[in-house]
Amino acid sequence: MLAAVLKDYNDLVLDDVPVPKPGPGEALVCIRSCGFCATDYKAIKGIRRNVRFPLIPGHEPAGIVEAVGAHVTSVKEGDEVVLMPSGFCGSCRNCRLGLTHYCETSYTTGGDGPEDVRPGSFAEYTLTGANVLFRKPSEVSFDAACQAEPVSGAWKGVIQYSQMSVGDDVVVIGTGAIGMYCLMVAKAAGAGRLVAVDVSDYALEKARQLGATHTINPRTHKVKEAVYDVIPEGPDLVVEAAGPIEAVKLMTSLLRRGTRWNIFGITTHETFELDGGLMHFLEARMDSSFSTTPLAMEKALRLMKSGLVNPEKVISHRFPLTEIHKAVEVMGTGERNKVVINP
């Protein structure tokens, strides 16, 4: 099969590799669409260094079941499915608590986090556990369905962890694809004033189209003053979905008493300072959100099936797998939203 193989940082090659065969409990999926995540880009460009080579990136896939291994009854050949990249055993203590993303023997297909990183979906086929496959709703396209994983992460972070309520005033810092999904989930959940912050006017225009009531560009405005002009009493929730440490520092500057804040976008190991006494008296509650769970995936697919969140609106570029290098170039530009690969 054709696959994009990362041999080293800045050395992504199209290669012919063997098609894997499913063992007991596994399924082989023919990939129709795979989202290009910023963490994939960071691995390819060497921005994140927790990569072991060779690696087939791509952890936001949807496709059609090609074959199943022994004892698999939940899916069959020909089923249209979405793959959750976070594999889990289902029997360890964390799994039985519903914390499958903390699984003691977890693996990921094409992503990062666990020690066990398996080939991802910038390829024609992906092998994974059948227990991480979800039925694709017939009314949702493959290009939209492959976004179930980031949409599920947005739901998990904004709703399950940070407990956003109807009418809450929300600030989303960073409106790349994941920030857009956080914004769309917040909008669907009944956010009041919904402020998008980004250095890209291109991204901010898309944020306005998707429901942001206000937009702020830090290059032309003092963000804290602009946010408090819109929300004089301060935000109920601030979501950092940008990635750079500067976005985290900006988030902490926006807090008032009782603000909830979620470190969502940063995945690199960088530090920032907090005034302990100030945080004590503010009672500002920090959350963070990484990976996803079966519950979050089911919620994402329901949001997509109902039309409350439509990932098609976030996709700006599509490339066949043979043009993966063009996709990498686009990922490095400011004028793009979600990039999708179609193997």
| Percent of the chain residues topping a pLDDT of 70 | 100
Residues 39 and 165 in one domain: no
Could you tell me if 256 and 46 are in contact, meaning their C-beta atoms sit under 8 angstroms apart?
A: no
3-state secondary structure of 274: coil
Q: How far apart are CA 129 and CA 340, in angstroms?
A: 23
Residues counted in the chain: 343
Number of domains in the chain: 2
* CATH number of domain containing 250: 3.40.50.720
- Tokens 């969140």 belong to residue: 309
The reported pLDDT for the residue numbered 101 is 95
5-17 pLDDT, tens per residue? 999 999 999 999 9
Query: What is the per-residue pLDDT across 186-203, written as a single tens digit (0 to 9) for each?
Result: 999 999 999 999 999 999
- Over range 169-175, report the average pLDDT: 97
Is residue 152 included in any domain, yes or no?
A: no
Residue 137 DSSP one-character state: P
Cα 293 to Cα 118, 126, 148, 289, 297: the distances in Å are 18, 19, 11, 11, 6
Both ends of the chain: CA-CA distance in Å? 10
Q: How far is CA 278 from CA 237, 258, 274, 275, 288, in A?
A: 18, 12, 8, 5, 20
| pLDDT higher at 174 or 270 | 174
If asked whether residues 26 and 108 sit together in one domain, one would say yes
pLDDT in tens, 35-78: 999 999 999 999 988 899 999 999 999 999 999 999 999 999 99
Domain that holds residue 325: 2-147+314-342
Percent of the chain with pLDDT over 90: 93
Residue-level pLDDT at 261? 96
Quick check: 306 and 300 in contact, CB under 8 A? no
Contact 204, 175 (CB under 8 A): yes
Q: Can you give the CATH number for the domain in which 20 is found?
A: 3.90.180.10
Assessment of whether the complete model's pTM goes beyond 0.75 = yes
Degrees, nearest 5: CA angle 290-245-58: 45
Q: Pairing mode, if any, of strands 237-240 and 170-173? A: parallel
Q: How many CA atoms lie within 13 A of 41 on its CB side?
A: 17
What is the reported pLDDT for 49? 87
Residues 6+ apart with CB under 8 A from 296: 152, 153, 155, 156, 160
One domain for residues 272 and 185: yes
Residue 246 within any structural domain of the chain? yes
Residue 142 covered by a domain: yes
**Amino acid (1-letter code) at residue 102:** Y
Q: Is the pLDDT of residue 267 over 90?
A: no
Establish if 301 belongs to a structural domain: no
The predicted model gives 78-105 an average pLDDT of: 97
- The pLDDT tens digits of the residues spanning 290-334 come to 999 999 999 999 999 999 999 999 999 999 999 999 999 999 998
Model confidence band, residue 212 (pLDDT cutoffs 50, 70, 90): very high
Residue 149: its pLDDT value, please?
97
- For the segment 133-146, the average pLDDT, to the nearest whole number, is 98
31/13 Cα distance (integer angstroms): 18
Is residue 96 domain-shared with residue 23, that is, in the same domain? yes
Residue 268 pLDDT class (50, 70, 90 cuts): confident
Distance, in Å, from the CA atom of 267 to the CA atom of 242, rounded to the nearest integer, reads: 10
**Which amino acid belongs to residue 221?**
H
What pLDDT is attached to residue 8? 97
Same-domain check for residues 250 and 332 = no
Please choose, from the candidates 31, 25, 29, 28, the residue with its C-alpha nearest in 3D space to the C-alpha of residue 73: 25
Average pLDDT, the chain: 96
CA distance 83 to 131: 9
Indicate whether 9 and 110 sit together in one domain: yes
Q: How far apart are CA 138 and CA 131, in angstroms?
A: 20
Alpha helices in the chain (DSSP H): 38-45, 93-96, 142-145, 148-155, 177-188, 201-209, 223-230, 245-253, 276-282, 294-306, 324-331
Model confidence at 127: pLDDT above 90: yes
pLDDT of residue 337: 92
Domain assignment of residue 94, yes or no:
yes
Which pLDDT value is given to residue 136?
98
Instruction: Tokens for 250, please give them.
Output: 């900006």
- pLDDT of residue 266 exceeding 90: no
Contact 309, 289 (CB under 8 A): no
